[in-house]
Amino acid sequence: MKVLLLTTGSRGDIQPFIALACALNTDGHQVTLRAPTSATPLAESYGVRVAPFGDDWSEILADPDTRAAFETGGRGFRGRALDTRSAPRLYREIRRAYSKMAWDADESLDFDLVVHQAFVPGHRIAGEMGVPAVPVCLQPMWVPTRSFPNPSTTFPVPRELNRASYLATELRVRTLSGRWRDPDSLVLQAFSRHLLPGSADYPESVHTTGFWFVPESAPPADLRKFVAAGEPPVCVTLGSSAEQPGVRQVVADAVRLTGLRTVVVDGSTGTDSAGRVLHVGHAPFDWLLPRVAAVVHHGGSGTTGAALAAGRPQIVRPSLTEQNFFAQRVHALGVAPAPRPLGQLSAGELARAVVETVNDREMAARAGEWRGLIRAEGGVAEAVRALESVHCAFRRA
């Protein structure tokens, strides 16, 4: 089958779709990834065909006011919030970015299936082609359940209103891009069921597959050499959260206070004067994380999954509400200390948390136990099987 994958956002939003593209290609399907231009080198390094549509979404997220709107409670490291004057402009820019995701009139629309991030207008594009659309949820804030409230909610929710709290997500998406799925259509949730609190009462059409991992890739020579040169380092990777004012300096101070060998994934390159800290632009987590002592991260779905699959303890400092959900869940699994918001980040506190976690043998043992469970799910293979079933059912109809 010919599959169009449609996604945007940061690397954490794009890499799961690259993983899916790799698995579909391996099974003999023809895949095109419609993604930001900046994602092209990463996707092509895995042999994935890319049809780029620009970097408008990245530019939107780079705006300080927009960043604040996506941070926990609408407030971030410096406490700013999106005001009523900024909101209409933000919505206009997002709609403009979405419009560029659609194919130009002279482009081929010969696809059998559209698989898209839930918040982008893949449903509408598939409708124009007359083919099925399958939304992908990277966080559990899309499909209502009685088991837990919408993770994007910023206030306490009575248990009896858990399902109702998901209306907030539905309304936001409809405002920006319209309906995100048909009733009873297949929905793929690209995270582990083991992270959900309780037994979620999802309908049969919702498949919580497990995390989607890219094939293992070779590390850069400098990273391989650094890791092999001494005791397992700590890995610090805060994703786009590292761009918040003051965060880089606090992280640098915390790393210095720990005295531990550390790999900092922050877009820069080089080592410190003592040779104990290596900065890298990007790192293959599938190779790196199993070789570290602990992972400091922001609670993104992809990084959380990679750390769990690596069987390593975690220290999570979330910025977004859904990141806080993952942070709380890995703490509940016993593989991370209690999280603290990124907005409360301090060098001393972070350094203490890192040292205590690295020396916590019980936590390391629990992390090792979860490694097998997470890897056994085979998330991306399960997703491919579900998509093949949808395609077959559509052809029979």
3-state secondary structure the chain: CEEEEECCCCHHHHHHHHHHHHHHHHCCCEEEEEECHHHHHHHHHCCCCEEECCCHHHHHHHCHHHHHHHCHHHCCCCCCCCCCCHHHHHHHHHHHHHHCCCCCCCCCCCCCEEEEECCCCHHHHHHHHCCCEEEEECCCCCCCCCCCCCCCCCCCCCHHHCHHHHHHHHHHHHHHHCCCCCCCCCEEECCCHHHCCCCCCCCCCEEECCCCCCCCCCCCHHHHHHHHCCCCCEEEECHHHHHCCCHHHHHHHHHHHHCCCEEEECCCCEECCCCCEEEECCCCHHHHHHHCCEEEECCCHHHHHHHHHHCCCEEECCCCHHHHHHHHHHHHCCCCCCCCCHHHCCHHHHHHHHHHHHCCHHHHHHHHHHHHHHHHCCHHHHHHHHHHHHHHHHHHC
Structural domain including 372 reads: 221-376
Grade residue 245 by pLDDT with cuts at 50, 70 and 90. Answer: confident
Is the residue at 279 inside a domain? yes
Q: Is the pLDDT of residue 29 over 60?
A: yes
Grade residue 210 by pLDDT with cuts at 50, 70 and 90. Answer: very high
- If asked whether residues 283 and 198 sit together in one domain, one would say no
Across the range 282-303, mean pLDDT stands at: 94
Output 126 or 366, whichever has higher pLDDT.
366
Is the residue at 244 inside a domain? yes
Across the range 76-93, mean pLDDT stands at: 52
- If asked whether residues 166 and 233 sit together in one domain, one would say no
As beta bridge partners, residue 35 has 52
Is the residue at 192 inside a domain? yes
Output 63 or 342, whichever has higher pLDDT.
342
> At 148, which CATH number?
3.40.50.2000
- If asked whether residues 31 and 131 sit together in one domain, one would say yes
Across the range 70-90, mean pLDDT stands at: 47
Grade residue 200 by pLDDT with cuts at 50, 70 and 90. Answer: confident
- If asked whether residues 33 and 160 sit together in one domain, one would say yes
Asked if 27 contacts 380 with a C-beta cutoff of 8 angstroms, the reply is no
Is the residue at 198 inside a domain? yes
Across the range 292-307, mean pLDDT stands at: 95
pLDDT of res. 198: 81
Grade residue 81 by pLDDT with cuts at 50, 70 and 90. Answer: very low
- If asked whether residues 145 and 33 sit together in one domain, one would say yes
Q: Is the pLDDT of residue 351 over 50?
A: yes
pLDDT of res. 395: 85
Q: Which two tokens stand for residue 387?
A: 């998509």
pLDDT of res. 72: 43
Is the residue at 300 inside a domain? yes
Q: Is the pLDDT of residue 74 over 60?
A: no
Is the residue at 160 inside a domain? yes
Is the residue at 342 inside a domain? yes
pLDDT of res. 77: 37
- If asked whether residues 195 and 249 sit together in one domain, one would say no
- If asked whether residues 175 and 246 sit together in one domain, one would say no
pLDDT of res. 9: 83
- If asked whether residues 177 and 320 sit together in one domain, one would say no
Q: How many domains is the chain partitioned into structurally?
A: 2
- If asked whether residues 204 and 226 sit together in one domain, one would say no
For the stretch 159-192, pLDDT in tens is: 999 999 999 888 878 777 677 888 889 999 999 9
Asked if 335 contacts 367 with a C-beta cutoff of 8 angstroms, the reply is yes
- If asked whether residues 381 and 365 sit together in one domain, one would say no
Asked if 317 contacts 342 with a C-beta cutoff of 8 angstroms, the reply is yes
Is the residue at 62 inside a domain? no
- If asked whether residues 247 and 119 sit together in one domain, one would say no
Portion of the chain with pLDDT greater than 70, in percent: 85
- If asked whether residues 352 and 383 sit together in one domain, one would say no
